[in-house]
Chains A and B, each alone.
Chain A
């Protein structure tokens, strides 16, 4: 055997720690990107309004690009929502459940969340690959290769999926820690 059981555990812990660190960094970058895209979204639409009503020269690209930017703010911005646990939910009953049940529910929810993100990741990745394969372009004057806007969804979903895997690990850890506390009487 290359290393014993304890050694492996330590190594896995290290690996998880680095994984978490990398995801955290990536998520920060994604969150900031989503914020600036939102600001740019306001700017380009304002620019379009000015060009149209003041200079009578409407732009051809703003409408289409703004839609893609909204996709970016939604799906890449979702990372921050997942990380800060600020999803909208009905927590009236949840708040009245015993703590133990809540912990198990958390694991359950986190698993469904990860599965759902995985599903969206796979389907949107399929669409992106098809667009890439057939060199599809957008049905507009811009003729943007659709692989660019389409890839926003799988990109965002990959980040959220990784974050939700961390969430599963953390919710499992919460239970084992609580069990450990009970055993040691802490």
Chain B
């Protein structure tokens, strides 16, 4: 008899284990009317894999800093319960894999029953979770996503909002600056990925229309180990401006190799990576960053409430500066979420989503207002390192300093 039980017990236990691990613990289900102890925000993000460095720089510390700041003030005030509720982040590693990001987002919403979602890093992952969060009406503010495609299809994903400035505005600023400086000839190079293609699609026609002759246009594979030949070609073409649409590893490689081959273009612009503190301190150490332009832009000097304070607290907490582009947008996402909750007076995601879509928010990147779910203004779209700070050189009222042109010579190593 006992043996019979043993026979059945094992498979039953295995099946039970299987089901239990799949089910997992139920999240907080607040009894209606009773305030939850904490606002749990789910955050599936790359803690390992190729996206991890960028997430570790721009997104994770800013999110965590925001949580610290909110909790230091007692929490977010929710009118429905008439009290301040502290915030906590529930973070999972999506291993830089889009499929995992989607699944973890669903797990957070469906199983862990989080109250809100902070998105993962990068255009691909954000693109992938946009339909998911919209299916569940979970408002999500993307701060490291740059995609014309997504912006164009935004109405299909009503719960997804873009906080970061997008390629069209950055491209326009770049071209405007080039024109202003009297750039006559340019070389445009970019990597084989969506980012590069979108920028090129925007910028190339604008450059030609603006009277800048694009003498050389070539692409290279993402993650290339040697760009020296391409750069020598650019050098031989003796252009005024070198414009590159690239990711940090390629931007850094390019900078190093430009110095090696002894080519100092009068204008050097690369999209991603230039705005990182590590660019100024390590890659282009010794003042080599001076005069290099890049996509961006935010810095502690912008005329937005709390900008300098955020910078100081970031340095104090992580012993590293925030980057000069997306970090602030990610902190601002938290601020927007908080203000939306306060204005909606409830933790109901649908109501908060409406508040985000309709509202105007006061953040460290200035006043944020969403049009077709994407933020319309940003402190700057193009920046240049001048005297150790990445200053906004957009033409117009946002300009903090006139661009330096031509770029100073690379300092001796």
Q: Do A and B come from one complex?
A: no
Which residues of A approach B to under 8 Å, CB–CB?
none
